[in-house]
Chain A
Amino acid sequence: MTVEIVPPRPVSTLGLQFRRFRRNRLAMASVYVLTLIVLACFFGPMFFPFTGQDADFGNISAPIDLFSIHPFGTDDFGRDLLVRVLEGGQVSLTIGFLGALVAGVIGVLYGAVAGYVGGRLDGLMMRLVEILYGFPYVILVILLSLLLGGGNVALFAAIVFTLWLTPAVIVRAQAQSLARKEFIEAARAGGMTHRQIVVEHIVPNCVSVVIVYGSLLVPEVILSESFLSFLGIGIKEPQASWGNLIQAGTAAMDTDLRLLLLPGTMLAIVLFCLNFIADGLRDAFDPNDR
Chain B
Amino acid sequence: MKGTGLSNWLASAAMALALAVASPALATDGVLDRGIGSEWSSLDPHVNFDAAAGWIQSDAYEGLVNFDGEGKVIPGAAESWEVSEDGKTYTFRLREGLKWSNGDPLVAQQFVDGILRTLNPETASEKGYYFYSVIQIKGAEALANGETTDPATLGVTAPDDRTVVVEMETPAPHILDIMGSFQVAPLHGPSYAEAGSAVFIDPAKVVGNGAYVIKEVVPQSHVLLEANPNYWDAANVSIKQVKYHVTEDVVTELKRFQAGEIDITYDIPVNQIDQLKADMPDEVIIGPSTEVTYYTFNLTKPELQNIDVRRALSLAIDRELLQEKIVKGGAIPSYSYAGGFDPTYQGPTIPEASMTQADRNAKAQELMAAAGFGPDNPLKLNIVTTVAEDRIRLAQGISLMWKQTLGVEASVESLERKAWLDSFYAGTWDVFADNLVGDFAGAETFLAYMRPSADAGYNWDKPEFDAQMDVAASKADRAERNVELAKAEQILLDDVLFAPIAIEPFRRLVSKKVKGYAVSVAGYNNSQFLSLE
Decide yes or no: A236 and B326 within 8 Å by CB, A77-B400, A255-B275 being known contacts: no
Q: Which residue of B lies closest to A56 (CB)?
A: B404
CA distance A77 to B399 in the complex (A): 11
Decide yes or no: A238 and B396 within 8 Å by CB, A60-B326, A76-B326, A77-B326 being known contacts: yes
Cross-chain contact A255 with B404 (CB below 8 angstroms) = no
Q: Which residue of B lies closest to A55 (CB)?
A: B400
Decide yes or no: A57 and B396 within 8 Å by CB, A76-B326, A255-B275 being known contacts: no
Question: Is residue A200 contacting chain B, with contact meaning CB distance below 8 A?
Answer: no
Per-position contact with B for A67-97: 1 when CB-CB < 8 Å, else 0?
A: 0000000001111000000000000000000
Chain B positions within 8 Å of A152 at CB level: none
Cross-chain contact B403 with A53 (CB below 8 angstroms) = yes
CA distance A60 to B399 in the complex (A): 16
CA distance A232 to B249 in the complex (A): 15
Question: Is residue B397 contacting chain A, with contact meaning CB distance below 8 A?
Answer: yes
Q: Which residue of A lies closest to B396 (CB)?
A: A237
Q: Which residue of A lies closest to B387 (CB)?
A: A232
Question: Is residue A254 contacting chain B, with contact meaning CB distance below 8 A?
Answer: yes
CA distance A255 to B326 in the complex (A): 14
Cross-chain contact A254 with B412 (CB below 8 angstroms) = no
CA distance A57 to B403 in the complex (A): 12
CA distance A220 to B192 in the complex (A): 57
Per-position contact with B for A226-238: 1 when CB-CB < 8 Å, else 0?
A: 0000001000111
CA distance A60 to B324 in the complex (A): 11
CA distance A77 to B401 in the complex (A): 10
How many residue pairs link A and B with beta carbons under 8 A? The number is: 47
Within 8 A of B (CB), among A234-290: 236-238, 251-252, 254-255
Count A interface residues, CB 8 Å: 17
Cross-chain contact B400 with A251 (CB below 8 angstroms) = no
Within 8 A of A (CB), among B430-477: none
CA distance A58 to B414 in the complex (A): 27
Question: Is residue A130 contacting chain B, with contact meaning CB distance below 8 A?
Answer: no
Decide yes or no: A53 and B271 within 8 Å by CB, A236-B411, A237-B412 being known contacts: no
Cross-chain contact B400 with A255 (CB below 8 angstroms) = no
CA distance A252 to B401 in the complex (A): 21
Q: Which residue of A lies closest to B389 (CB)?
A: A251
Quote the shortest CB–CB distance from B358 to chain A (angstroms).
12
Count B interface residues, CB 8 Å: 21
Chain B positions within 8 Å of A78 at CB level: 325, 400
Cross-chain contact B397 with A255 (CB below 8 angstroms) = no
Cross-chain contact B272 with A255 (CB below 8 angstroms) = yes
Q: Which residue of B lies closest to A76 (CB)?
A: B326
Question: Is residue B17 contacting chain A, with contact meaning CB distance below 8 A?
Answer: no
Cross-chain contact A236 with B400 (CB below 8 angstroms) = no
Cross-chain contact B412 with A236 (CB below 8 angstroms) = yes
Question: Is residue B124 contacting chain A, with contact meaning CB distance below 8 A?
Answer: no
Cross-chain contact A53 with B400 (CB below 8 angstroms) = yes
Decide yes or no: A54 and B404 within 8 Å by CB, A77-B326, A238-B396 being known contacts: yes
Per-position contact with A for B257-286: 1 when CB-CB < 8 Å, else 0?
A: 000000000000001100100000000000
Cross-chain contact A54 with B271 (CB below 8 angstroms) = no
CA distance A252 to B318 in the complex (A): 23
Question: Is residue B321 contacting chain A, with contact meaning CB distance below 8 A?
Answer: yes
Chain A positions within 8 Å of B411 at CB level: 236, 238
Cross-chain contact B325 with A57 (CB below 8 angstroms) = yes
Quote the shortest CB–CB distance from A142 to chain B (angstroms).
14
CA distance A54 to B321 in the complex (A): 16
Chain B positions within 8 Å of A54 at CB level: 403-404
CA distance A238 to B396 in the complex (A): 7
Q: Which residue of B lies closest to A150 (CB)?
A: B413
Chain B positions within 8 Å of A77 at CB level: 326, 396-397, 400
Q: Which residue of B lies closest to A232 (CB)?
A: B414
Q: Which residue of A lies closest to B410 (CB)?
A: A238
Chain B positions within 8 Å of A255 at CB level: 271-272, 275
CA distance A24 to B251 in the complex (A): 46
Quote the shortest CB–CB distance from B153 to chain A (angstroms).
48
Cross-chain contact A252 with B271 (CB below 8 angstroms) = yes
Cross-chain contact B271 with A254 (CB below 8 angstroms) = yes
CA distance A236 to B399 in the complex (A): 13
CA distance A165 to B396 in the complex (A): 38
CA distance A255 to B396 in the complex (A): 19
Quote the shortest CB–CB distance from A56 to chain B (angstroms).
9
Chain A positions within 8 Å of B413 at CB level: 236
CA distance A78 to B275 in the complex (A): 21
Quote the shortest CB–CB distance from B258 to chain A (angstroms).
12
Quote the shortest CB–CB distance from A121 to chain B (angstroms).
44
What are 24 residue pairs bridging A and B, where the CB atoms are less than 8 Å apart in the complex?
A53-B400, A53-B403, A55-B400, A55-B403, A55-B404, A57-B318, A57-B321, A57-B401, A57-B404, A60-B325, A60-B326, A76-B271, A76-B326, A76-B393, A77-B326, A77-B400, A232-B414, A237-B396, A237-B412, A238-B396, A238-B399, A251-B251, A251-B271, A251-B389
Q: Which residues of B contact A (CB under 8 A)?
A: 251, 271-272, 275, 318, 321, 325-326, 389, 393, 396-397, 399-401, 403-404, 411-414
The 4 closest A-B pairs by CB, nearest first: A55-B400, A60-B325, A255-B271, A57-B321
With A57-B325, A57-B404 already in contact, 14 other A-B pairs whose C-beta atoms are closer than 8 Å: A53-B403, A55-B403, A55-B404, A57-B321, A57-B401, A60-B326, A76-B271, A76-B393, A77-B326, A77-B396, A236-B412, A236-B413, A238-B411, A254-B271
